[in-house]
């Protein structure tokens, strides 16, 4: 058994998120250049500095814990029951273009299961926190998913992988199906904040194919602790942090959305690499 309860990590998570957010804000709208990890996959000095700061802080506070961070991509100190999964700058493209919709995502798992998490949108001054069994908050106030029951009344959000050109036809077909059967489909560019807005009841659902664990670790717990539902992209498929494919919803329109995406042909997508 763990010597920690999930709520023991709420205060450290807030401190970590706010510290990393301060790093991001120092560089926000002041970037001279940015680098390309791929044709459309960007990295900035802010990504690297935020990750270095977070990694150093976690190792100092919890030296026996493991860490999986986006920019490094490998597990530091493997073997612990606790794994910190961090995205030091989620929404790098938005950030590089001076848009305020970006965040820091810090998830903690215990023996592979979500345990606690934090998402900070520093330019929006919104801090989301969740601990297993203890609910979810935004800026200290409890949040809950929406009560919308019909898909046609739902505002939903999605995202696209960096290799989207390879799957453009099926992704477009799926988007079209959702566009017809919902109130609207958004693409905001920061998965962690998409999860957060589902948890807060502003959006009814978020689905995406091609995500990484650091995109989902904090947000998935936030949605479930706010009363929502998680799953895969096809009927009966469970949520898996490492599968790269998921739906997060208010639970009430979950099955309707899965059926809609199925009509769009989402089953034609392979398992993400």
CATH number at residue 206: 3.40.190.80
Asked if residue 109 belongs to a domain, the reply is yes
Domain boundary among 85, 107, 142: 142
Q: Which of 51, 52, 46 minimizes the C-alpha distance to 29?
A: 46
Of 125, 142, 159, which residue is a domain's last?
A: 142
Nearest to 120 by CA among 210, 222, 244: 222
Given 91, 116, 142, which residue is the final one in a domain? 142
pLDDT digits (tens, 9 = 90+) for 26-80: 999 997 666 655 554 556 788 899 999 999 999 999 999 999 998 777 799 999 9
Condensed to tens digits (0 to 9), the pLDDT of residues 122-155 reads 999 999 999 999 999 999 999 999 999 999 999 9
Q: Do 114 and 170 belong together in one domain?
A: no
Residues 34 and 133 in one domain: yes
Q: Verify that 134 and 27 share a domain, yes or no.
A: yes
> Nearest to residue 127, comparing CAs of 19, 268, 236?
19
Number of domains in the chain: 2
Give the H/E segment covering residue 117: strand 113-121
pTM reported for the whole predicted model: 0.94
d(CA 225, CA 133): 7
Q: Has residue 9 got a pLDDT over 50?
A: yes
Residues 149-197 have pLDDT tens digits of 999 999 999 999 777 678 899 999 999 999 999 999 999 999 999 999 9
User: Is 1 part of a structural domain of the chain?
Assistant: no
Helix residue ranges, H only, 62-157: 92-96
What CATH number does residue 39 fall under?
3.30.540.10
Instruction: Judge whether 131 lies within some domain.
Output: yes
Q: Are 97 and 15 part of one and the same domain?
A: yes
Query: Alpha carbon of 38 to those of 29, 34, 184: distances in Å?
Result: 22, 12, 30
124, 234: one domain: no
Q: Is 13 helix (H, G, I), strand (E, B) or coil?
A: helix
pLDDT digits (tens, 9 = 90+) for 227-258: 999 999 999 999 999 999 999 999 999 999 99
Are 132 and 13 part of one and the same domain?
Answer: yes
Q: Dihedral of CA 192/240/238/172: which sign? A: positive
C-alpha 47/C-alpha 37 separation (Å) is 12
Q: Could you tell me if 193 and 231 lie in one domain? A: yes
Domain that holds residue 215: 151-267
């Amino acid at each position: 058994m763990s010597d920690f309860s999930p709520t023991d990590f709420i205060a450290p998570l807030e401190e970590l998120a706010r510290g990393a957010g301060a790093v991001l804000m120092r560089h926000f709208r002041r970037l001279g250049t940015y680098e390309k990890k791929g044709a459309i996959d960007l990295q900035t000095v802010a990504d690297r500095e935020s990750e270095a700061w977070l990694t150093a802080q976690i190792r100092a506070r919890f030296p026996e814990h493991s860490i999986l961070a986006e920019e490094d991509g490998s597990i530091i100190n493997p073997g612990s029951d606790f794994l910190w999964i961090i995205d030091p700058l989620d929404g790098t493209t938005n950030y590089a273009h001076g848009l305020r919709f970006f965040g820091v995502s810090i998830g903690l798992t215990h023996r592979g299961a979500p345990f606690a998490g934090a998402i900070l949108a520093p330019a929006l001054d919104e801090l989301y926190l969740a601990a297993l069994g203890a609910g979810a908050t935004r800026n200290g106030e409890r949040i809950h998913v929406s009560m919308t029951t019909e898909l046609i009344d739902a505002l939903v959000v999605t995202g696209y992988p960096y290799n989207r050109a390879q799957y453009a036809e099926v992704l477009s077909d799926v988007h079209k199906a959702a566009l017809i059967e919902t109130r609207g489909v958004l693409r905001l560019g920061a998965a962690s904040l998409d999860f957060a807005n589902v948890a807060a009841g502003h959006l009814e659902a978020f689905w995406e194919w091609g995500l990484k664990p650091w995109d989902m670790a904090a947000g998935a717990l936030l949605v479930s602790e706010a009363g929502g539902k998680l799953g895969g992209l096809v009927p009966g498929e469970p949520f898996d942090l490492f599968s790269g494919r998921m739906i997060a919803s208010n639970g009430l329109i979950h099955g309707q959305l899965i059926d809609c995406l199925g009509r769009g042909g989402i089953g034609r997508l392979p398992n993400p690499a």
